[in-house]
Structure 1
Amino acid sequence: MSTTMALARQSWWPWARRVVVWGFFGLVAWLLVTQARAIDWSEVFQAIRALPATTLLAAGALAASSFVLYSTYDLLGRHLTRHKLGAGTVMGVTFISYAFNLNFGSLVGGVAFRYRLYSRLGLGNATITRVLGFSMLTNWLGYLVVAGAAFFFWPMALPPEWKIGSGGLRVLGAVLLALSVSYLALCAFSAGRVWRVRGHTFKTPGLAMALLQLAMSCLNWSLMGGVIWLLLQGQVGYPHVLAVLLVAAVAGVVTHVPAGLGVLEAVFVALLSYQVAETTLLGALLAYRGLYYLLPLAVALGAYLVTEMRMRRSRRRRLPGRAPGA
């Protein structure tokens, strides 16, 4: 009887889960479309045109610095796994993956592009998995520290009608900081310990590596917040802008919407529209998308095509019995 019930559950549960997920996506889409119809988009585009060139250049410089910094994350995995790919090659793969990850989601960018490019460059799946896992760990460890500090020391001023006060945010910040301290303690006292999870092997890094992970990732999240703060031209305090960005980042991950399209804007509007005009806010966020999402994507697409062509030529040269120039 129990076996029959288990089989029945296995047959209907995947369909039920899909219905719930797509129903949620449909609700989000409906809310976004409804909200978008109420916006005066001519004023939004006017707000974008009103941004000073110096502000755009400074924001672009911070965005470029963030991408360069993130591109070094996989170098930590290179050090950990001792694979032989050059630093420039590794940074190129990370840059391409990150740009596609931001615009098309982690499965396409963060995972699929890394596996495709690294495997074609000669790395095995086990090594790629360790590099990818360590890079993702680095990114979210920094999130814990930055979000924890922002929520605990500078709790954002929420809209007046919200019932959550600064006390709740401080508690959340303390929990996030405690998690990051726990990781540092694990690395300090269990360095070198091997963990096996679902057939994958992970080795605990040392404390020095953990501190380097946190420093790199904290700086990167801070740079991302700085881009939006500059585009808002100081109308909102930097810690507040950074805290809202961190909330939006988690919202984008939870909803699985590619590029967090509409989710980022919805979170900022919900949390900041009582301080900044909605059209000004959306103008700054669209400029942010252009600088941090679309422009790097265009560069990454070109780099990816060039990389693919080079790897195909290299593979053809290695084919046995192929005449030179054929």
Structure 2
Amino acid sequence: MSDSDAMPFPDVQTLPGSGTPIWRRIRRWALPVLGLVVLALLLSHAHKVDWAGAWQALRRYSPGVLLAALALCTASHALYGCYDLIGRHHTRHGLPRWRSWAIAVTSYAFNLNLGSLVGGVAMRARLYARAGLDETTVAQIVGLSLATNWLGYGLVAGCVFASGVVKLPSESTLGEGAFRALGLLMLLLAVAYVLACAKMQGRQWKVRGRRVQLPSPRLALVQLGVAAANWALMASAMYLLLGGQVPYSVTLGVLLAASVVGVVTPIPAGLGVLEAVYLALLSGSVRQGALMGALLAYRALYYLVPLGGGLVLYVLLERYASAHPPPAADGNQELSPPPLR
């Protein structure tokens, strides 16, 4: 996943470009430099990869296994679409559920392949604006979606990392104890979010003349549950492609580690990052050819095939928006979120 977005605070009008000018300058140069370093390392090791073995592993997959993995990947994308339904419930905008879901699914497919600014933010903003929603409402939806994804990540990754099922490479600079502490911190952040939603329930803030507020604690729990299930589905597809050669918990842990590395590495679709992390953490458990075959199949089924579906959905959404222009006041009502039933 996925998910390759950075997590903002949910109810803000714009994604924070915050920090001191020094931090902005560091961030502007540090991330591209890190990306180039990672890319150089990947290219330097590319000739060591058993590509012939990977091709043989791909050819050995039965149609049934590939179809089952595709079904899991499709279910994950469909579940991600529910993130924007959470935003719809919270903001009480008037778009039909199917349209909100389709916008989220389309954006996710582009997000995975082209980066968060294109899919996660820009495409969502365009499609929701075409539907008649104002900027504040769109920002809340995007913020809640990103928060849902990464809070669910923190819940699942916290449990996996704190349990110690993922063994770091011996050359890793992060010790086993520090890794488990990181997992515990992630769990505490997820719990803190739910507690904050409970403590600040009903409290509102003014943003550009609109009232915004945190979700209810019940909706916060729904966020965690839906996102945790989505990360579990992603790992299930990879586990199936690996043929059960490593325990599911380990497959899940490696996927979570690869996902967070992909976030901080500015390479579209995390190209090569997923493969590098899996090779580093599982090279002693799975033959390199079989591992690369599973990774290539996963990238095709989870990234490339949904992109084709996303393109079709995007065209359909644009045509629907052209045929059904929104009323002037649609999506601009100032409403408080209802209680979750």
Normalising by structure 2, we get a TM-score of 0.84
Paired letter, 1:268: Y
Paired letter, 2:64: T
Change (3 A) 1:310 1:99: same
Q: How does 1:215-230 map to 2 (within 5 A)?
A: 215-230=225-240
User: Which ranges of structure 1 fall in alignment gaps of 5 or more residues?
Assistant: 1-8, 319-326
Q: Deviations over 1:67-119 (max 9, x none)?
A: 11110110111111111100001111011000000111110001011010010
1:75 to 82, 85, 99: 85
How far the C-alpha of 1:25 sits from its partner, in A, is 2.7
User: Structure 1 CA distance, aligned partners of 2:210 and 2:283?
Assistant: 46
1:131 to 136, 141, 145: 141
Q: Which range is displaced more, 173-182 or 47-56?
A: 47-56
Change (3 A) 1:20 1:204: closer
User: Structure 2 CA distance, aligned partners of 1:31 and 1:292?
Assistant: 25
1:144 to 118, 139, 154: 154
User: Structure 2 CA distance, aligned partners of 1:249 and 1:199?
Assistant: 37
Q: How does 1:233-312 map to 2 (within 5 A)?
A: 233-312=243-322
User: CA contact under 8 A between 1:155 and 1:170: conserved in structure 2?
Assistant: no
User: Structure 2 CA distance, aligned partners of 1:204 and 1:19?
Assistant: 34
Paired letter, 2:59: R
Q: Does 1:47 align with 2:73?
A: no
User: CA contact under 8 A between 1:94 and 1:114: conserved in structure 2?
Assistant: yes
Q: Does 1:93 align with 2:103?
A: yes
Q: Does 1:108 align with 2:118?
A: yes
Paired letter, 1:236: V
User: Structure 1 CA distance, aligned partners of 2:38 and 2:109?
Assistant: 24
Partner of residue 15, structure 2: none
User: Structure 2 CA distance, aligned partners of 1:102 and 1:240?
Assistant: 23
Change (3 A) 1:198 1:63: same
* Higher RCO structure, 1 or 2 (CA under 8 Å, sep 6+): 2
User: Structure 1 CA distance, aligned partners of 2:64 and 2:312?
Assistant: 27
Asked which structure has the greater CA Rg, the reply is: 1
How far the C-alpha of 1:36 sits from its partner, in A, is 1.1
Provide the identity percentage: 47
Q: Report which of the two has the higher share of helix.
A: 1
Partner of residue 63, structure 1: 73
Q: How does 1:206-217 map to 2 (within 5 A)?
A: 206-217=216-227
User: CA contact under 8 A between 1:151 and 1:173: conserved in structure 2?
Assistant: yes
Partner of residue 321, structure 1: none
Q: Does 1:179 align with 2:189?
A: yes
Change (3 A) 1:17 1:200: farther
Q: Cα RMSD over matched residues?
A: 2.5
Paired letter, 2:188: A
How far the C-alpha of 1:53 sits from its partner, in A, is 2.2
User: Which ranges of structure 2 fall in alignment gaps of 5 or more residues?
Assistant: 1-19, 329-341
How far the C-alpha of 1:18 sits from its partner, in A, is 4.9
User: CA contact under 8 A between 2:110 and 2:119: conserved in structure 1?
Assistant: yes
User: Structure 1 CA distance, aligned partners of 2:112 and 2:132?
Assistant: 26
User: Structure 2 CA distance, aligned partners of 1:152 and 1:260?
Assistant: 25
1:193 to 200, 203, 210: 203
Change (3 A) 1:195 1:236: farther
How far the C-alpha of 1:254 sits from its partner, in A, is 0.5
Paired letter, 2:92: R
Paired letter, 1:261: L
Change (3 A) 1:201 1:31: farther
